[in-house]
Each structure stands twice: as C-alpha cells, then as structure tokens.
Chains A and B, each alone.
Chain A
Amino acid sequence: MNELVKQQWLIPFLPLVAAAVQSLLPRKARKLSAGICLTAMGASCVLALRAFVGTLGHHEAERAVWNFVWFDYGTTRLQLGFILDPMTAAMALMVTFVGFWIFVNATGYMSDDENFTRFFCFLSLFAAAMLGLVVANNLLMLFMCWELVGLCSYLLIGFWYFKPSAATAMKKAFITTRIGDVGFFLGILMLSWQAGTLNLYDGGNGALEQAGKLAGLHGWFGWSMATTIAVLLFIGAMGKSAQFPLHVWLPDAMEGPTPVSALIHAATMVAAGVFMVGRMFALFTAGGSAEHPTFAMDMVLWVGCFTALFSATIAVGQFDIKRALAYSTCSQLGFMMMALGAGGLVPGQFHLLTHAFFKALLFLGSGCVIIGTHHEQDMRKMGGLRKYMPITFWCYLIGMLALAGVPPFAGFFSKDEVLLVTFQRSKVAWGLATFAAFLTAFYMTRQMFMVFAGKWRGGHHEPHEVRWNMWLPIAVLSVFAIGLGFFGGKYEHYLGVHEEELHGKSLVMGLSVAVGAAGILLGWLMYGRKTMAHAEEPDPLEVKLGALFTCLNRKWYVDEFYDATIIRATMLLGEFWRVFDNRVIDGILHGIAWTAWGVSQVVRWVGDEFVINGGFDAGCEGVRLTGREFAKLQTGRIQGYLRILCLGAVILLVIWYLK
C-alpha cells in the first residue's frame, strides 16, 4: 500500500493529459480524440483497480498517505499529498469505471456534434478533476479540484451555449454552487488557522487527526471549533451535492448533453459533496456521541432528510424524462446525506456507490431514449418504446427497480442500510425517508409506464433502437445494478468500521420492501392499467390532485421564490449601492449640497421602492436597470480603472499609517 500510494497521482493525471492533448487536436480528429480519451480513462481504471486490490485484505481501516512539499513561502510550508485508503480506492474505482462507460456512450450520443473533440476534452478534464478530488490528502488540493469540477460542469452544461436556456443553466449552476463554496472556503481558512495544516492525515499532525483537539475549542454561536468548521464545509457540500435550498441548479443542468448529465449526476459533481462530507467525517462527529450528536451532524441529517422528501415530491410532477431523473438524484443525495448525518458513514458511502451505477444507467438509458425518439424529451410524447427499443427497455427496467428499492437489486440493499441507520437516530426522519422511498418507487413506475408502455404517441417518426456503443454501457452498468448490493456487508468490513448491532432490522427492511411494492402498485394502478392515449391527455395524477400537482410540476415555486426574494433583494441592494456610489462620487466632485440631495434621494427611493412599489412584477425591470447602471461604471477607459486602483492603494496606505 505504501508503494501504491505513490502512484495515486497517475489516476487523475492520465485523464488530465488526455484533456491537454485533445485541446490541441483539430476538430476533424474525432476517432483519435475519443480513442485518447477512452484509453486514458481505461488506464486510470486499471490503476484504480490495482489500488483497490492493494487495499483488500487489510482488516483494519488502513491508510497510506504520501505528502510532498509544493513550495515554501516565508516560514510556512505548503504541502500537497495523496491518500490511499479503502474509501478512496472504492470511490476512484467507481468514478473511473462508470466514467469509462459514460465516455463510451458519449461517443454514440455526440456522434453528430461538430464540436466532438471539445466535448471530449472537457469530459476528460471533468473526470481528472473529480479523480484529483478523490485521491487528495490535502484540503487545498481538494478545493482546487472541487473548483475545477465546478468549472467543468459549467463548461459542459453550457456545451450548447448557443441555446439561451443552456447559457442560463450554466451560469445558474456555477453561481449557485459558488454560494456554497464561500462557506467551504471559509471552513478551509478556519481549519488552516486552527489546525495549522491542511493535510488531512500526516502521521498524527494532520487536520483530521486533530479533530479531538478542535472539538475542545470554542467556535461560533457556542459550537465547538470542529463543529463550526464542519458546518461551513457542509455548506459547500450543500451547493455541490444540490441539497435544499441550493438544489435549484441541478435540474437546470439537464440542458447539457445527456452523457454530461450522467456524469454530473452519478460519478462526479454531486458525488463530490457527499464524498467530501465522508472524508471530513471526523470533524463532523468530533465532540459528539450517539446520544448527543453535534449540531453539524443534526444539520446534515435534517437537510438531507428534507431534501430527500422535497425533491421526491417534485419528481412526481415532472414530464421531462431527464428532469424527473434529476429530482430523483436530488432526493437520493438527500438519502446519502441523511445517512451520514445519522452517523452512518458506511451506508452513506455505499449508497453513493450503488446509486452512481444505477443512476448512470438510468441517465444513459434516457439518453438512448432521447436519441431513439429523435431528440424528444417529453414523456407525454413517448410511449410504447418497449417494442421499438427492447435492449434499452430491459436495462432501464433494471435501473428503475434498483432505484425503487426492489430486492435483490443494488438500490434495495443500500437504501435499506440508509433507512436502518436513520431509524437508530430519529424515528421522524426515518418516517419521512420511508415516505420518500415510497414516492421514489411511484415516480419511477410512472416514468416506466409513460415511456415504455402503451403505444407510440410521438408522431410520424417511429423510434428506433440505438447503436451498440450506446446500449453496451447501459448493459454493463445494469449487471452492476443487479449485483452490487450483495457486497454491502463486505463493504462495511472493507472500510474497517465495526458497527454495533442495530435494532429494528426486520421492521425497517419489511417496511421498506412494503412501501416500495406499494409505490409500484400505485404507479401501475394510475398509469399501467390504462396508458395514455394522446400526448395532450392530462396526467391521471393531475386529475386527482389538481392544484397540488401544478405546484409539484412548478417545483414548489422555489425558483420563483428566489426570483422574488433573493434575486430581487440583490437587485435592490445593487440599485441602492449605485445611488450611493453616484451620490458619493458626485459629492466629492460637486460639494456637500449634492450629498445632502443624494441622501434625500436614497431615502425617497428606498421608501418609494420598498413601501409603495413592493410588488415583484417590477423585478424584471429592476434587473435591466441595474445592469444598465452598472454598465456605466465600465467606461472601457483604462486610465479610469487605473485611477481607481491608485486611489485604493493610497487609501490602504493611509489606513495602515493611521493604524
């Protein structure tokens, strides 16, 4: 293991090299580009497998690290490092393996796109960033890769940037995750300040190995320092793993090509948050016990639990095949977070692994459906695809059963463990999660019947089966979606965590099977017995639920809520600062009389806007106005900018002088 860890850097390095090479290839070199990409990913996968095999057979949770000095500045020594422990090895193997098959699928999905090489370049970089994040033994390196993952998702979601919706979605994803990253970065700074190092493990001196010490220090709001840092880090994970209330970017990320959705939703982007919480688990638990968990753990638990239920309800009301799956991902990520929050590191990470396989399967399957139906994404305009696309149908069915938690598919085992560990912590959370599991089974059944059952509702173009390079990946992944669950017990042993005997095992398992079956049964009753005849026919659920269904379909109006509150508030603040700015600068230029007038303007304006014109229909106008006003600051004259820079330098020096 100590030898293997020194080769860990190769795992992210190979896709990185592939990305670098592809960035130089001409656009016509499609075959070469795909070849390089697949070779690099395959080689990484072999390396990951070797590392994985190397970690087998160690009964205790053994960990090998390899730190090296990046550079010195002053007396501080900045180190980077790599880690090899069971969690890393399993994760790296999953990312490379699932990633490899997603790449294979992408060669089919993107075969008509003229920017094929650019796509594969980004894809390689994405995989490299995620792998770097997994093998990093240093929070700084993890953060750099974390940001790279964000950048790549931005580039890939907006791959078809000429579509306005894609351009909006890419910005939304970037900005939303960035809000979380502020917390993450603050957490890193606090940790660096308190622990004096950002190495996670360093022979007793690493940041995580000092978790006990940090738990003894006082942080914010009466929490311990460890909890404070953990909460800040979790805010970052909330953005990346799309937890409520920062989940809004994930469904919009559907604007990217489908292989990207598969990559984001299964192997890379969203997994990063859950993985990071698992990696920093020592900080989250430090200072708490099973009876009195820390605030950080409670936060993880309840945010996860709420997201799981909340997103599951939204998924019920979606008509876009990928959007429904996107909310399902949100919900499943909630499950993982909930398990972590309940203290179950193993169930959380195990669900992450199994989910990656069957969610990649489902997304790639939906990609096949989209290609097979000539770029149709509305489930109401599908139907009867079982006849036209048999291979896709069977694989999709396996994925759906795994997600719905039907034994003996992979999802059943991992979800069962999640529910079991939650049951130990909180009966309420467990109840809500069980209901979310019921909804999961229901919406997946709904989707199956809408897409594959009945007759074709999509018009003249008949759907067709996809080519081998698209169905082969989902066939391979479906094997794992069936078989992976049986390794749950082994995985626990492999991670070296010995958990005490959990009570209520049979009750939880029985109920979980029962709600799964109930969900599927309800889905069949509503969608299976009588399939939709026309694309315009209302959804049976819509008939039953009425306004509530509209609410679900509109995603509980979260986006609208954000538009009306946060975005509008930001605009108002921007407007305020603009007025403030103009008045103050004018004040210097034109004297005190102007300033007095400016203040009165501000007061008048604030009163006017807030009290009288509070309705949010003015929001759009506010956006445009603020943009126009801010644009005025951009005079394009370099000397103006230089003057401001110089002014800043003088002010800083004066402040320093007066200090």
Chain B
Amino acid sequence: MSVPLGYYLMLGGVLFCIGLCGALTRKNAIAVLMSIEIMFNAAILNFVVFWYYLHNGALTGQMFALFAIAVAAAESAVGLALVISVYRHYRSVDVDEMKALKG
C-alpha cells in the first residue's frame, strides 16, 4: 500500500476536529457524547497508524489502541448513564441548561 504517513495524520486531525466541532456546538448532551466518540476514534486511528509506520516488532501501538477502545467503552457507558440521570432531573438534555456549577 502506498499511502504516505502524512495523509493518515491529516485524516486523523480532520476527524478529531470534526468531533471537536460537534462537542463545541451541539446542544443535545447525547450528540455531544457522540462527537466525543468521534474524537476518541480519531485518536485511536493515530495510534494504529503510528504502529504501522514505525513498526519495530513491538505491538505497543495496537495494545494502546485496544486499551483506549476499552476505556472509551467505559466512558460512554458512564457518560450515557449521567445523561439519563440528568434528563430525569432537569427533564432536558440541553447542555446549556446544565449550569448548576455556575459561580
């Protein structure tokens, strides 16, 4: 395969920023969580890409990606539980309404 490393990195960066854009702008908390999943995946893609290109016999990159996937799964479970809990409390999942921490 003849794709240079740079293209993969740019792909990862662009995907990350798409996710970031969603996390910054969406009002629905579930949509924000989905955007964060996109960011996670972009980062994981980078791990694998570097593993592939820097390949030196070790599987550290893949291992890292694997653990990152597991952590992301745990994160989404807890995050969605929080969203449901917030929904029960406020009857809304609008992140602009979640400002109980306002000083």
List residues of chain A with CB under 8 Å of any chain B CB.
630-639, 642-643, 646
A635 & B24 in contact (Cβ 8 Å cutoff): no
Type the 1/0 row for B9-34, where 1 means its CB is closer than 8 Å to any CB of A: 00000000000100111000000100
Nearest chain A residue, comparing its CB with the CB of B102: A636
Type the 1/0 row for B66-103, where 1 means its CB is closer than 8 Å to any CB of A: 00000000000000000000000000000110111111
B24 & A636 in contact (Cβ 8 Å cutoff): no
List residues of chain B with CB under 8 Å of any chain A CB.
20, 23-25, 32, 95-96, 98-103
A632 & B103 in contact (Cβ 8 Å cutoff): yes
Given contacts A636-B99, A639-B95, 6 further A-B contacts (CB under 8 A): A634-B103, A635-B102, A636-B100, A636-B102, A637-B95, A637-B96
Chain B residues whose CB sits within 8 angstroms of the CB of A630 once the complex forms: 103
A642 & B102 in contact (Cβ 8 Å cutoff): no
A646 & B103 in contact (Cβ 8 Å cutoff): no
A646 & B20 in contact (Cβ 8 Å cutoff): yes
Other-chain contact of B98, A631, A632, A638 (Cβ < 8 Å): A638
A491 to chain B minimum Cβ distance, whole angstroms, is 54
B103 & A639 in contact (Cβ 8 Å cutoff): no
A638 & B95 in contact (Cβ 8 Å cutoff): yes
B21 to chain A minimum Cβ distance, whole angstroms, is 10
B24 & A639 in contact (Cβ 8 Å cutoff): yes
16 contacting pairs across A/B (C-beta < 8 A): A630-B103, A631-B102, A634-B101, A634-B102, A634-B103, A635-B102, A635-B103, A637-B95, A637-B98, A637-B99, A638-B95, A638-B98, A639-B24, A639-B96, A643-B24, A646-B20
B23 & A636 in contact (Cβ 8 Å cutoff): no
Given A638-B95, A639-B95, A633 and B24 touching (CB < 8 A)? no
Once bound together, how far apart are the Cα atoms of A632 and B103, in whole Å?
6
B95 & A636 in contact (Cβ 8 Å cutoff): no
Once bound together, how far apart are the Cα atoms of A631 and B20, in whole Å?
26
Other-chain contact of A642, B24, B96, B101 (Cβ < 8 Å): B24
Once bound together, how far apart are the Cα atoms of A638 and B101, in whole Å?
9
Nearest chain A residue, comparing its CB with the CB of B101: A636
Chain A residues whose CB sits within 8 angstroms of the CB of B103 once the complex forms: 630-636
A627 to chain B minimum Cβ distance, whole angstroms, is 9
B103 to chain A minimum Cβ distance, whole angstroms, is 3
Which of B32, B95, B99, B100 is the most central at the interface, judged by chain A CB atoms within 10 Å of its CB? B99
Chain B residues whose CB sits within 8 angstroms of the CB of A635 once the complex forms: 99, 102-103
Chain B residues whose CB sits within 8 angstroms of the CB of A646 once the complex forms: 20, 24
A81 to chain B minimum Cβ distance, whole angstroms, is 29
A639 & B23 in contact (Cβ 8 Å cutoff): yes
Nearest chain B residue, comparing its CB with the CB of A631: B103
Once bound together, how far apart are the Cα atoms of A642 and B101, in whole Å?
15
Nearest chain A residue, comparing its CB with the CB of B23: A642
Chain B residues whose CB sits within 8 angstroms of the CB of A634 once the complex forms: 101-103
B39 to chain A minimum Cβ distance, whole angstroms, is 11
Which of A630, A633, A642 is the most central at the interface, judged by chain B CB atoms within 10 Å of its CB? A642
Nearest chain A residue, comparing its CB with the CB of B96: A637
Once bound together, how far apart are the Cα atoms of A638 and B29, in whole Å?
11
Q: Which 5 A-B pairs have the closest CB atoms?
A: A634-B103, A636-B102, A631-B103, A636-B99, A636-B101
Nearest chain B residue, comparing its CB with the CB of A634: B103
Chain A residues whose CB sits within 8 angstroms of the CB of B102 once the complex forms: 631, 634-637
A644 to chain B minimum Cβ distance, whole angstroms, is 11
Nearest chain A residue, comparing its CB with the CB of B29: A638
Once bound together, how far apart are the Cα atoms of A271 and B101, in whole Å?
40
Once bound together, how far apart are the Cα atoms of A639 and B25, in whole Å?
8
Once bound together, how far apart are the Cα atoms of A88 and B98, in whole Å?
53
Chain A residues whose CB sits within 8 angstroms of the CB of B24 once the complex forms: 639, 642-643, 646
Chain B residues whose CB sits within 8 angstroms of the CB of A632 once the complex forms: 103
Once bound together, how far apart are the Cα atoms of A638 and B103, in whole Å?
13
B40 to chain A minimum Cβ distance, whole angstroms, is 15
Once bound together, how far apart are the Cα atoms of A635 and B99, in whole Å?
7
A35 to chain B minimum Cβ distance, whole angstroms, is 38
Which of A634, A636, A642 is the most central at the interface, judged by chain B CB atoms within 10 Å of its CB? A636
Once bound together, how far apart are the Cα atoms of A633 and B101, in whole Å?
11
Nearest chain B residue, comparing its CB with the CB of A637: B99
B29 to chain A minimum Cβ distance, whole angstroms, is 10
Chain A residues whose CB sits within 8 angstroms of the CB of B100 once the complex forms: 636
Once bound together, how far apart are the Cα atoms of A630 and B102, in whole Å?
11
A654 to chain B minimum Cβ distance, whole angstroms, is 15
Chain B residues whose CB sits within 8 angstroms of the CB of A637 once the complex forms: 95-96, 98-99, 102
Once bound together, how far apart are the Cα atoms of A637 and B103, in whole Å?
11
Once bound together, how far apart are the Cα atoms of A639 and B102, in whole Å?
13
Nearest chain A residue, comparing its CB with the CB of B25: A639
B75 to chain A minimum Cβ distance, whole angstroms, is 15
Once bound together, how far apart are the Cα atoms of A654 and B96, in whole Å?
30
B48 to chain A minimum Cβ distance, whole angstroms, is 23
Once bound together, how far apart are the Cα atoms of A316 and B100, in whole Å?
50
Which of B32, B102, B103 is the most central at the interface, judged by chain A CB atoms within 10 Å of its CB? B103
Chain A residues whose CB sits within 8 angstroms of the CB of B101 once the complex forms: 634, 636
A635 to chain B minimum Cβ distance, whole angstroms, is 6
Chain B residues whose CB sits within 8 angstroms of the CB of A631 once the complex forms: 102-103
